[in-house]
A and B are shown apart, each in its own frame.
Chain A
Amino acid sequence: MPDALYLSAAIGLPYLGALVAALLPANARNLEAWLAGGVALLSLVMVWVGYAEVAAGGVPRFEVPWAPELGLNLVLRMDGLASVFAAMVTGIGFLVVLYARYYMSPEDPIPRFFAFLLAFMGSMMGLVLSGNLIQMVFFWELTSLFSFLLIGYWQHSSAARDGARMALTVTASGGLALFAGVLLLGHIAGSYDLDQVLAAGDIIRDHPLYLPTLILILLGALTKSAQFPFHFWLPHAMAAPTPVSAYLHSATLVKAGIFLMARLWPVMAGTDAWFWILATSGMITLLVGAYVAIFQHDLKGLLAYSTISHLGLITLLLSLNSPLAMVAAIFHTMNHATFKASLFMATGIIDHETGTRDIRRLSGLNTSMPFTARLAMVAAAAMAGVPLLNGFISKEMFFTEALTASTSPTLMHSLLPLGATIAGVFAVTYSLRFIHGAFFGPEARDLPRTPHEPPQWMRLPVEVLVFGCMIVGVLPAATIGPFLDVAVRSVLGDATPEYSLAVWHGVNLPLVMSLIALAGGVVLYLLLQRHLTAGVDGTPLLRGLDGRRIFDRVMVFLSWRLARTLERLLGTSGLQMQLRLMVCVAFAAAILALLPYELEPGSVTMTGVDPVVAVMWLVGSACAIGAAYQAKYHRLAALILLGGAGLITCMTFIWFSAPDLALTQLLVEVVTTVLLLLGLRWLPKRIEQAGASTIPARLRRYRDLAIAILAGAGLTALSYATMTRVSPEGIARHFLERAYTEGGGTNVVNVILVDFRGFDTLGEIVVVGIVALTVFALLRRFRPAPESIGVPDQQHGKGQDWLQIPAVIMRLMFPVIGVVALYLLLRGHDLPGGGFAAGLMASIAILLQYMAGGTRWVEDHLRVHPLRWMGTGLLLAAGTGVGAIVVGKPFLTSYFAYADLGWLGKLPVASALLFDLGVFGLVFGATVLILIAIAHQSVRSQRAAPTPPPSAAKGGYD
């Protein structure tokens, strides 16, 4: 089988299985189990296929270019270490699936469980088989994410939610640190490819960035593997279903950190920093974990702390910078996976069949479930390190290494054998507690369920694992030996030491230590009997040290207190201050950007002053300043002045050869003014009172005035500096030269809009449509405020004799304006006009009718369907574009020809005209929609006023 196939299948199959599992019906428990089990087994077969090549000395590798110019490729790679971990992930994964089939209750949402489990399996496979560091971190984060989902599987339980969140917070933060560390590592090694990084050990260790890299990477590994001081999340993750715990905390999630340390061992280890960080953390974890485990009353809690302790042991072994310790570490990782998975499963069986996991309530299960009891006893004995079981051999290796290392001069080294023995004593004690507490003593009477043996298939995974513990314990070299050797060689290479996997090494110091641990453990258990049976909660001596409470406090500080303080100090909820800051920041940013270029006028000679323009802008400036001055107390005046400034702008456009702009600006000016006028009467009355402003208010105004003057001066300087420089050769030539020859229109601006940059215009009319719909939707929900102005005298009574002469004119204008709009639309391609102007023009025709007749009158006589206009317009514009695709041209390519209409002249018939028609429809529809939405407010009943309505708040515009 080619490398590419089985490597990608080993990762892809679980993900594929997860997708399928998620889609199966909720009650298909057996089907789910078959699927998940089959996927796990098939992935295991893939690993086995790869292992055959790995054992022969090869490293199967599969590479897909991803971003090769950055040196990033997707690399799948299987060496000895990866293959052993992959086999554990899939093999134990298969057993967990089998077990979960019987453990999970029919009420649980099964598809979700198996989908997450398989996705997690895929992520673990991706992690161990990655040949690229960044890819590895990606899968690392995926394992954090899926473990979060698995731990929080029972969403209804708050313990599960909190435990999941804590696990995610800790492991994902570690993952971020790891990512930073990996980026540094890749920077040092010059590549993210694992093979190249592994070959750059000396460069990495001698690099000045070695220490930060090491700390960041170890932060990732230690959080994931629940090492002190990040160990506290693991016990809370026990809120997960037991199959999840059995999987996550034996072979997979927590071993990811171990895997990473072993993976990078050849390049990162061998320094003092490596030793001190890992040995300190590992030693504390080993001892504290084992000590706390003794005092747990929950079977799963006991196993959780024992897991922490064993992980500490492995970390300690990895810290020793000795190849033999490396062998022991990998060996113990495998052994721990087998006995811990079986113990978790046995605990799950006890929980399942008795209804409790509390050691204080459980007792004498040996009689009711003898088989399970035997299996659990063997597994617990392996955990304690009893001879002839696998845990014993790796523990012996650990003791040997501790003794070897103690010849070094430092205090830490010389304490190792003592610490190892004490941890051994504790391990025996908690293993005894597990066995004795659950299976011996008088038979418990008040259990929630009557205990009995589980279904045979539920016990099978435990049997397989316990059998593994025994056979490895008796015949280590013949069973696990070759696999261990392949794994070790892939890490150590030529430095692989001589080691012997034998049960009996003669009477030596490690054996004595083992015996001391066994005897000491039994004695300690007997001494603690009284305390343990009293059933006191908490751990003696360490009661005050609650990782969860510290974590919660940190989280509250970070996410609540600190955030609120920062918000109070740095934030403002006032819009004025926000805008003020925005203006100031924009000003400062512009100054900073201009500093290196010395803002000075350019060299172009100025054109002579035209007195007309000077007078125009004298008026325009007066209008602008007047509008600014009057906008608070004299809104109508401000509106008129605003219109004045707009008209001057419009005239400027005409003056400087931009008729299209002038036309559009004029029409927009009309519509905007009418809309604002419509809105005026809902604003509260504001009467100017002389001398009413306080000193602080006046000071604020002076400050704002200064900012405004500065902003204005800045704009002037900027525009002046721009205008006095030669205009660079832009893309104007491109458009001017091609407007007629390729776009078929003489009005270049219009050709740009509907042809060259048609896609932009399409986007723009979509925005206009969205705005109109938003206005419509907003006004549907809201009721207007009480009106501030009473109905004028002319509108009282039934006479309705206001505006009679203008109304006649306005009605007569309707067809005229319509024709002009059509004219503007049709000539747009060649002369000023086009869809935008025509749409606005047509909407003005409607606007006038509303002004003349009132909302009700207009809607009795004329039905405009703005939404249809908008929809048709948009479809037409987009359809024109799609039409080009249909005939095999890129989107929005236009076609043009001229139709001769006899004495009417020539009509440009371009597909761009259709597009412009769409623009017209949409702009017309949107404008009318906004107008109607606002006009209808006056017909509606008013909102129940929060303030007592003014005396004359009745009637309306119509």
Chain B
Amino acid sequence: MELILALAIGVLGGSGVWLLMRPRTFQLIIGLSLLSYAVNLFIFSMGRFPVGAPPVLAPGTSGDPAVFADPLPQALVLTAIVIGFATTALFLVVMLAARGLTGGDHVDGKGRGS
């Protein structure tokens, strides 16, 4: 199981890195999103992969870390997802603005629309 998830992180990250080095803005945006999946999963893996562990406490009790899912990586990843969303939106707008200003979609603003 660990191997599958490690491979998944690698494939997501590798695809993201590949797109990161492409010349078109849209490729970059997709690449960053893929990369953020990989990184989120990697951070999440710090809590390991408990199947069926209760994530929510029973009222009036305190949890035992051996039984419950590790909440800390989850909290970190949750904020990372939201921030990732915000930056994707920002990047999308920069992409549109660059397209409007340069007439193309090259990451360096080179070339025309083709």
Contact = CB atoms under 8 A, between A and B. Distances in A.
A772 B49 contact: no
A620 B13 CA distance: 12
Contact of B89 (A708, A771, A785): A771
Contacts of B5: 613, 617, 652, 719, 723
Contacts of A659: 55
- Per DSSP, chain A at the interface is helix
Interface stretch (A3-11, A328-336, A603-611, A789-797): A603-611
A768 B20 contact: no
B104 to A, nearest CB: 7
A576 B52 CA distance: 43
A539 interface: no
A656 B4 CA distance: 14
A136 interface: no
Nearest to A708: B18
Contacts of B87: 771
Contacts of B45: 719, 722-723
A784 interface: yes
Nearest to A731: B72
Interface string A128-162: 00000000000000000000000000000000000
Interface string A292-314: 00000000000000000000000
Interface residues of A, number: 119
A642 B23 CA distance: 19
Given A715-B10, A716-B10, A704 B18 contact: yes
A656 B86 contact: no
A740 B71 CA distance: 13
Interface stretch (A56-64, A560-568, A622-630, A910-918): A622-630
Contacts of B103: 785, 945-947
A129 B3 CA distance: 69
Nearest to B88: A672
B86 A664 contact: no
Given A627-B30, A712-B13, A723-B48, A730 B70 contact: yes
A661 B44 contact: yes
Interface string B51-63: 1111111111111
Contact of A573 (B23, B24, B108): B108
B3 A606 contact: yes
A664 B30 CA distance: 19
Contact of A708 (B17, B105, B112): B17
B92 A617 contact: no
A733 interface: yes
A683 B85 contact: no
B14 A708 contact: yes
A8 B9 CA distance: 63
B85 A671 contact: yes
Contact of B97 (A661, A727, A733, A779): A779
30 contacts: A608-B1, A609-B3, A624-B15, A638-B26, A646-B33, A652-B8, A657-B50, A657-B51, A658-B74, A684-B114, A708-B14, A716-B7, A716-B9, A719-B5, A720-B2, A736-B64, A736-B68, A746-B57, A747-B56, A749-B78, A768-B86, A771-B86, A772-B86, A772-B89, A775-B89, A779-B93, A785-B96, A836-B78, A926-B86, A943-B101
Closest 5 pairs between A and B when the two form their complex, measured CB to CB: A712-B14, A716-B10, A736-B63, A708-B18, A684-B113
Interface of B: 1-27, 29-31, 33-34, 37-38, 40-42, 44-65, 68-72, 74-75, 77-79, 81-90, 92-97, 99-105, 107-108, 112-114
